[in-house]
Structure 1
């Protein structure tokens, strides 16, 4: 279908195209950009699992503790972006997982939870980064979790299983993605794969440079395809990296985003880049407020990097959103709500690090001392005993997504709640509408309320592609 010819022949277009679901359009291509500029580059930023309360609390922390407004909220207060609410449902549920959510952006179709760009009858929907690669653009992904994880994969590949990360690592090499930065050594390293395949060697044979340390980002050879894998699985949480010396050799999301843009920006045909704060989602699953706020703030720094580049470049569309909500955290009413919230500034580490450092041979004094040292919280004897029961086997160990060591995340977050006034509705994804912002040429295509699949077509329209 020649969408350019179709659009030019229309004076007013509303509703949906019969051949493409939920297509966002302007009256004609000539009015697509307020400054009549074509979108050459697209930077798509996702704070995975970010409920609106996460955005609000990170901004409140930035204002109260850091003395500045957040970058994302600053775009709202300065009226510099188009803004919308987005429905994140999948084909199989009102509550999506990350694979189906990313596939909505990537393939333009809602699919079942757990799959990547695969329809109910096995249809393979061509992922959008492949579409842009076919048109001559460079394409890349940056994430704080495994580069083979569901969100980057949804922009790039087709798979019946989001968990097929060994295969996804190989698919990326076949596609020839230009920049891939994140974690996931487990899926590339021959010594860690069950099949003993050396996937790094595969990439090297295809001309890729391989990065393993933060310092390697300063040694990137310009114009050469790049694979950077900086951790066995996910990268560390931001607050732990800041306070644990052994973790400081891993790059931040801002470090990787800067390097990726620098590597892609001079390509004549432009580039597309996904930037994901994947561990915001993991923090929400754990009801871990320190992890959540500091990784959201790290995402906010990546937002600034993208916006600063787009302001200077003037041909870059920046999309800022999440794929779904998670746990719906929020600050609860109370006489001392602000003071209690501000006490989070005393937290030195994630709950994951704090709880993983407690052992079954701890006594009540040791656990009290440890919690005060790390959170400035004075546990009662009853609270200390309750936590210790999870380690002695008296209390049933907690489960939950990404809780590999069965740590008492929920129990501890309930204790913290008394001191910080932060409440959580669950430890899992939610079906709430989420925030969405767009900046740059093509942002005027954004309507006030959209479905997740609409962004696939918005990107294609913004880049003035003639076919879908």
Structure 2
């Protein structure tokens, strides 16, 4: 009996010692890491990019290839995966500035704050700035403007994400080696009205009224040694060894962004093209840090535009593939981390009206993004077009009543579109976020968002909001140190991991 009791005690003690020897916090796990540091670090951030957006893209890819189930995104083949919370310091549902600051500096902050503490007094140093100071080359690539919240969080320190002018001045001070993608929103100043205009953050309103013109921030950057490249020919001419390059897309859409993937034409530069060029410029013996943002996933999800959002995810994944191609050449020296700042839209892979049915291939009927289609509706409002005339372009852009049985508009769906037409063409009142109609249309053109909802529902997709959600976000990682990204943690842990791995 005594012997059995002793054995039980020894077993219990052994188990306790085993658990005591295991790291019980992510700080301990980081501190215990003894592996080789990565020389090349890729940090991909999908804005508004949650697990539903990822899985929807996989279901879409399978559907268009005539397959059942899903076709894996390249990022979802990574061996190490985890989840993390996204809350801001002063709100459970975060915003891009607070989330960007958390992902770039490892610190929580308040909504709207860029690279500073919640009181907007103390600047936080980002991992990109620390990498620069340690001799790494640094690059920033994004599909939205270069002074938008997420990219800004890696080089700027401003009390408000709407301080676009001051953010762009910080860009010129950063001394980062490569910027690529969108443009500079307000190089000569912001204006008081713009600083309160949240629509401008989603590419919906570029009409910045400048109260006091200031020294052009692009010229300030040029004085700091930056070269601005604005044509496809000049972009392709950028080569290894070139330094302090700001490559702005030759054709910019709303919000000084790249055109949506669904709207791009043959020959247009993609997020993957900018990622590849950044790799060419940054590769060197000392190593580099490259942040790539798929920024317009968020915008499409704000608009509840399923087809556009999914194609943005696919383009984002193609940019990740560029990093994977590089990784294959340097597998022992390259770390790739893919994450998101928050989920947008409350995307649901299922809709009550379609029960258990899904048909993601139907999304291919859509010809252009919500933004392009809205510009057509606005033009028709000037001519006071009839409902029948509007329905002609609705059917053309979304493929309704095209012969496919599933694409026929029901009597109820026609009523929804007629209500949207009346709200847009007859009422003409601006929808405020406290109005009952905001729940139907958000800040978007009623006909455009209604048509998008109907197409999404036919495909088996639902939306719950025009805003962000607090859903935990997945992270995928491959390369040296990727084991640190397994588990369930907080968004501030991601940059802390990278900082330890790069020995910053």
Distance apart, 1:335 and its partner CA: 6.1
**In 2, distance between residues paired with 1:312 and 1:70?**
28
| 1:131 aligned partner | 130
**In 2, distance between residues paired with 1:71 and 1:271?**
31
1:420 aligns with 2:459: yes
CA contact (8 A) 1:13 1:27 kept: no
Distance apart, 1:12 and its partner CA: 4.4
**In 1, distance between residues paired with 2:485 and 2:184?**
37
**In 2, distance between residues paired with 1:407 and 1:24?**
51
- SS for the counterpart of 2:496 is helix
Q: How large is the Cα RMSD of the aligned pairs?
A: 2.8
Q: CA 1:99–1:335 in 2, change beyond 3 Å: closer, same or farther?
A: closer
Q: Encode CA deviations 1:87-107: one digit per residue, 9 max, x unaligned.
A: 111111111101111111212
| 1:451 aligned partner | 490
Aligned pair partner of 2:335 in 313, 317, 320: 317
Q: CA 1:362–1:235 in 2, change beyond 3 Å: closer, same or farther?
A: same
Distance apart, 1:221 and its partner CA: 4.2
- SS for the counterpart of 1:141 is strand
Unaligned regions of 5+ residues in structure 2, if any?
1-19, 191-207, 402-408
**In 1, distance between residues paired with 2:306 and 2:444?**
19
Distance apart, 1:175 and its partner CA: 1.7
Q: Encode CA deviations 1:50-102: one digit per residue, 9 max, x unaligned.
A: 122111111111111146898864554x5x42100111111111111011111
1:392 aligns with 2:425: yes
| 2:199 aligned partner | none
CA contact (8 A) 2:117 2:123 kept: yes
Please give the residue correspondences for 1:53-202 in structure 2 after superposition, counting only pairs within 5 Å.
53-66=52-65, 73-76=73-76, 78=77, 80-121=78-119, 122-188=121-187, 194-202=212-220
Q: CA 1:177–1:26 in 2, change beyond 3 Å: closer, same or farther?
A: closer
**In 2, distance between residues paired with 1:67 and 1:217?**
37
1:354 aligns with 2:358: no
Distance apart, 1:365 and its partner CA: 2.4
**In 2, distance between residues paired with 1:436 and 1:123?**
28
Distance apart, 1:397 and its partner CA: 4.1
- TM score, norm. by length of structure 2: 0.80
Distance apart, 1:26 and its partner CA: 4.5
- SS for the counterpart of 2:368 is coil
**In 1, distance between residues paired with 2:166 and 2:101?**
17
CA contact (8 A) 1:12 1:27 kept: no
Q: CA 1:327–1:335 in 2, change beyond 3 Å: closer, same or farther?
A: closer
| 1:376 aligned partner | 399
CA contact (8 A) 1:332 1:423 kept: yes
**In 1, distance between residues paired with 2:299 and 2:28?**
32
Q: CA 1:137–1:27 in 2, change beyond 3 Å: closer, same or farther?
A: closer
Deviates more, 1:430-439 or 1:198-207: 198-207
Q: CA 1:196–1:67 in 2, change beyond 3 Å: closer, same or farther?
A: farther
- SS for the counterpart of 2:424 is helix
1:303 aligns with 2:301: no
- SS for the counterpart of 2:139 is strand
Please give the residue correspondences for 1:256-271 in structure 2 after superposition, counting only pairs within 5 Å.
256-266=274-284, 268-271=285-288
Give 1 or 2 for the bigger CA radius of gyration: 2
**In 2, distance between residues paired with 1:97 and 1:408?**
27
| 1:14 aligned partner | 23
Q: CA 1:210–1:417 in 2, change beyond 3 Å: closer, same or farther?
A: closer
Unaligned regions of 5+ residues in structure 1, if any?
1-10, 17-21, 243-247
Distance apart, 1:276 and its partner CA: 0.5
| 1:3 aligned partner | none
- SS for the counterpart of 1:331 is coil
1:235 aligns with 2:258: yes
**In 2, distance between residues paired with 1:298 and 1:441?**
26
Distance apart, 1:181 and its partner CA: 1.0
Q: CA 1:240–1:404 in 2, change beyond 3 Å: closer, same or farther?
A: farther
Q: CA 1:336–1:371 in 2, change beyond 3 Å: closer, same or farther?
A: farther
Please give the residue correspondences for 1:195-344 in structure 2 after superposition, counting only pairs within 5 Å.
195-223=213-241, 224-230=243-249, 231=252, 233-242=256-265, 250-266=268-284, 268-314=285-331, 315-332=333-350, 334=354, 337-339=357-359, 341-344=360-363
Pairs aligned (count): 436
- SS for the counterpart of 2:90 is coil
CA contact (8 A) 2:370 2:449 kept: no
- TM score, norm. by length of structure 1: 0.85
Distance apart, 1:176 and its partner CA: 0.6
CA contact (8 A) 1:397 1:408 kept: no
Q: CA 1:189–1:91 in 2, change beyond 3 Å: closer, same or farther?
A: same
